[in-house]
Amino acid sequence: MQRTDSNYVYYLVARNIKKYRKLKGITQQELADMIGYSVGFISNIESKSYLQTFSLDTLYIISLKLGVNIKDLFDEEKVTL
């Protein structure tokens, strides 16, 4: 996905959520339970073939539960694409 694509930010954040979730050893189900959303919602966020939008509030809650600074979810340097 190109940086100029309007959905790039969702792609970038999704890749970082998945990366930090896996680094913490948390399953999609566990993260979903931690934030009060369905596992399908988390799965859709992390999917490369589906664009799941989310609010800043949701993103903030996810960052808290993953124990990372919200700005780290936007970091292009640390993401594995």
Report the CATH number that the domain containing residue 37 is assigned in CATH: 1.10.260.40
pLDDT band at 78 (very low <50, low <70, confident <90, very high): low
Domain assignment present for residue 76? The answer is no
Domain assignment present for residue 77? The answer is no
Q: How far apart are CA 24 and CA 3, in angstroms?
A: 27
Q: How far apart are CA 36 and CA 21, in angstroms?
A: 16
Among all chains, which residue has been given the structure tokens 């594995």? 80
Range of the domain at 31: 8-69
The pLDDT tens digits of the residues spanning 37-65 come to 999 999 999 998 888 889 999 999 999 99
Domain assignment present for residue 1? The answer is no
Domain assignment present for residue 75? The answer is no
**What does the mean pLDDT of the chain come to?**
91
pTM of the model: 0.88
Domain assignment present for residue 24? The answer is yes
Domain assignment present for residue 39? The answer is yes
- Give the chain's domain count: 1
| pLDDT score at 66 | 98
Domain assignment present for residue 60? The answer is yes
